[in-house]
Chain A
Amino acid sequence: MVAIAQSVPKPASRFRFIFDRRDVLGSIFVAPAILYVLLLVGVPFLLAVYYSVSAFTIYNPSWRFVGLANFEQIVQNPVFLQTLGNTFIFTFGSQILGLILGKFGALLLLRPFPGRKIVRALIILPWAVPVALATVAWQWMFDSLYSVINWTLIALGIITRSQAPNWLGNQYLAMLSVIVVNAWRFFPFAIVIFLAGITAIPQDVLDAATIDGAGFWRRNYQIIVPMILPIVAVGLIFGIVFTFTDLSIVFLLTMGGPVSATSVLGFEGFQVGIISGDVSHGAAISLFMLPVLFVVVVLMLRFIRRREI
């Protein structure tokens, strides 16, 4: 009895009303994340844009506005034009190769077979392992003298030792190498995305199509592909964004060489802006990524919206 009589409600704390208003609490909850991102992504992004129209270098940090002069100088530089072209070749080459590998890999993994879990775990490796470390392993495999790839080709009698290619020293082979390594890194992601899309297709849709007489290819291209398109598009957008802006594979494998044959935008921005300290030109080079990113983001928003209907 006494206990009940004494259980007067605690005097509400001063802040209680704040924590009990849904809209206020909601805003307080989101605020730290938004602030962090605004301060360290939003503001730096604007700063990058301003750098590109200024004369800022680390030796002469001046905020003088120079208009589009940096961009004009950059596009007149043949090395930059090559870099721009390389970036597109690198991105689309590796994405197409990665998607093809991903589609076939997903078809194989769709079927249950003994040891499928282990196979899946091994196939995920290239995507899971830190890209810099995997790239270093490839660098060793492409070694000019002790390349295991060349050793195998020689042992199989395909080439002789004097013909052994210098993978990272020849301009075409170097481009091929960075594309292969990047596709190798992305195809497990493509497999996983394809699998997620295919397993989400209701079985009765496929059964109905089979009953109506659709064969394997018809089911594949008229039902499965259109139905997984949205999810594959999201995966592809990730792939394009991260490849188009990548620096690590080129930096570790070829350093942009031989003679800027594999230089890409991210790498060139790093060389000019960080290594040479020419911040304004570096920022201008990096900003050439923006139009592609913009298109990709618009596509992504469209796909997200379509999926919700």
Chain B
Amino acid sequence: MQRVIAKTVKEAPFFGGVAFFVILSAFPFYWMLITSFKTNSDLYSVTNIPFWFNDPPTLEHFRYLFHETLFMTWLLNSLIIGLCVVAITLVTALPAGYSLARMTGRKGEALGIGIFLTYLVPPTLLFLPLSRVVADLGLQNSMWSLVLIYPTFTIPFCTWLLMGFFKALPPEIEEAAIVDGCSLFGAFIKMAIPLSLPGILTVVIFTFTLTLQEFVYALTFVSTSSQKPITLGVATDLIRGDIFYWGEIMAGALLASIPVAIAYNIFLDRFIAGITGGAVK
């Protein structure tokens, strides 16, 4: 018994530290959660204990969000944008990543790093010229402008990730397929792609989450409510004049955050291997 107590005392700073980090990271999300289920009279009171329900929980904010706002439209817009960008990214980045991984010598590596560096060119530098491009194409205030522009950062990023995954694949497998009568192109389609499916899945998930996380381009190019993606809609459209609909905003933020948070946690290790290891593997 004494040993248990002694151990607990010794471990206290450690678990105290862990608790600090958990509260620091998760509290804003707990705050989203509890705000979205509180009644307005409970929410807008300076005397109520804010950490728990003083009135019974309510679904009113969610009802309002789904029926009185464009939330479902934003959700659908984000889904369409995400799927289109994933398609464009896969069609361009898969062959590029493969080709760069198999290029011999310095050229492939230099090209790979060159493409990746464009990922670091920030939206806040490009939004002025790109808004002209978007206007010239007649896409201003349309979510299709985002379908066009988002691949500018997903292609570099995913080419880099895929390059890493393809490098991990021994070239002997494709060589064997070629000896058996496959063309080079066939070896890519029939051997390299099926064998890299886990990597490709990672790329699909991350492309999708990157499109959900983007804010600057959406803010710049889209101002019509019905064309907004979910992140922009929730953050900027649930405000009437000076009044913030906090219950609805938090409910929307919560619903949009959950899938991204889950995807990140599942694919995190591959993601880190991708961004830090693409150059060394």
Chain B residues near A244 (CB, 8 Å)?
122
Question: Quick check: is A69 within 8 A (CB to CB) of the other chain?
Answer: no
Question: Quick check: is A172 within 8 A (CB to CB) of the other chain?
Answer: no
Contact, CB under 8 Å: A33 / B235: no
Tell me which residues from 223 to 247 in chain A have a Cβ below 8 Å from any Cβ of chain B. 231, 234-235, 238, 241-242, 244-247
A-contact 0/1 string along B69-105, CB 8 Å cutoff: 0000000000000000000100111011011101100
Q: Do A270 and B279 form a contact, CB below 8 Å, given A26-B102, A133-B234?
A: no
Question: Quick check: is A153 within 8 A (CB to CB) of the other chain?
Answer: no
Contact, CB under 8 Å: B124 / A245: yes
Task: Indicate which residue in A28, A32, A248 contacts B216 across the interface (CB closer than 8 Å).
Answer: A248
Q: Cα distance A50–B7 when bound, in Å?
A: 67
> Nearest B residue to A26 by beta-carbon distance?
B99
> Nearest A residue to B221 by beta-carbon distance?
A274
Tell me which residues from 11 to 64 in chain B have a Cβ below 8 Å from any Cβ of chain A. 14-15, 17-18, 21-22, 24-26, 28-29, 31-32, 35, 43-44, 46, 50-51
Question: Quick check: is B241 within 8 A (CB to CB) of the other chain?
Answer: no
Chain A residues near B66 (CB, 8 Å)?
none
Q: Cα distance A126–B113 when bound, in Å?
A: 28
B-contact 0/1 string along A197-217, CB 8 Å cutoff: 000000000000000000000
Q: Cα distance A279–B133 when bound, in Å?
A: 14
Contact, CB under 8 Å: A33 / B102: no
Binds B, one of A39-47, A78-86, A88-96: A39-47
Contact, CB under 8 Å: A133 / B21: no
Contact, CB under 8 Å: A266 / B149: no
Q: Do A297 and B28 form a contact, CB below 8 Å, given A132-B215, A234-B276?
A: no
> Nearest B residue to A265 by beta-carbon distance?
B124
Task: Indicate which residue in B113, B149, B250 contacts A137 across the interface (CB closer than 8 Å).
Answer: B250
Task: Indicate which residue in A51, A241, A252, A308 contacts B122 across the interface (CB closer than 8 Å).
Answer: A241
Query: Which of the four size classes fits the interface of chain A?
Result: 35 or more
Output the residue of A27, A128, A270 with the most chain B CB within 10 A: A128
> Nearest A residue to B263 by beta-carbon distance?
A128
Q: Cα distance A260–B126 when bound, in Å?
A: 23
Chain B residues near A241 (CB, 8 Å)?
120, 122
Contact, CB under 8 Å: B95 / A286: no
Tell me which residues from 180 to 198 in chain B have a Cβ below 8 Å from any Cβ of chain A. 183-185
Tell me which residues from 241 to 281 in chain A have a Cβ below 8 Å from any Cβ of chain B. 241-242, 244-248, 251-252, 265-266, 269-270, 273-274, 279
Q: Cα distance A200–B192 when bound, in Å?
A: 28
Least Cβ distance of B233 to chain A in Å?
10
Q: Do A123 and B152 form a contact, CB below 8 Å, given A30-B95, A48-B126, A129-B257?
A: no
Contact, CB under 8 Å: B121 / A30: no
Contact, CB under 8 Å: B122 / A30: no
Contact, CB under 8 Å: B249 / A140: yes
Q: Cα distance A51–B275 when bound, in Å?
A: 33
Output the residue of A248, A274, A300 with the most chain B CB within 10 A: A248
Question: Quick check: is A125 within 8 A (CB to CB) of the other chain?
Answer: yes
Chain A residues near B127 (CB, 8 Å)?
269-270, 273-274
Q: Cα distance A226–B134 when bound, in Å?
A: 47
A-contact 0/1 string along B235-273, CB 8 Å cutoff: 100000000101001100100110011011100100011
Question: Quick check: is B177 within 8 A (CB to CB) of the other chain?
Answer: no
Q: Cα distance A30–B102 when bound, in Å?
A: 11
Contact, CB under 8 Å: A32 / B115: no
Output the residue of B120, B124, B232, B234 with the most chain A CB within 10 A: B124
B-contact 0/1 string along A117-135, CB 8 Å cutoff: 0011111111111111111
Contact, CB under 8 Å: A126 / B28: yes
Tell me which residues from 111 to 156 in chain A have a Cβ below 8 Å from any Cβ of chain B. 111, 113, 119-138, 140-141, 143, 145-146, 148, 151
Contact, CB under 8 Å: B122 / A20: no
Q: Cα distance A126–B261 when bound, in Å?
A: 9
Contact, CB under 8 Å: B125 / A287: yes
Tell me which residues from 109 to 127 in chain B have a Cβ below 8 Å from any Cβ of chain A. 111, 113, 115, 117-118, 120-127
Question: Quick check: is A37 within 8 A (CB to CB) of the other chain?
Answer: yes
A-contact 0/1 string along B186-229, CB 8 Å cutoff: 00000000000000000000000100110110011000000000
List 6 contacting pairs A-B, 8 Å CB cutoff, sorted by A.
Answer: A25-B185, A45-B126, A45-B129, A113-B14, A231-B276, A290-B125
Among all A-B residue pairs, the 6 with the closest Cβ atoms: A245-B122, A128-B264, A266-B124, A29-B99, A29-B95, A33-B96
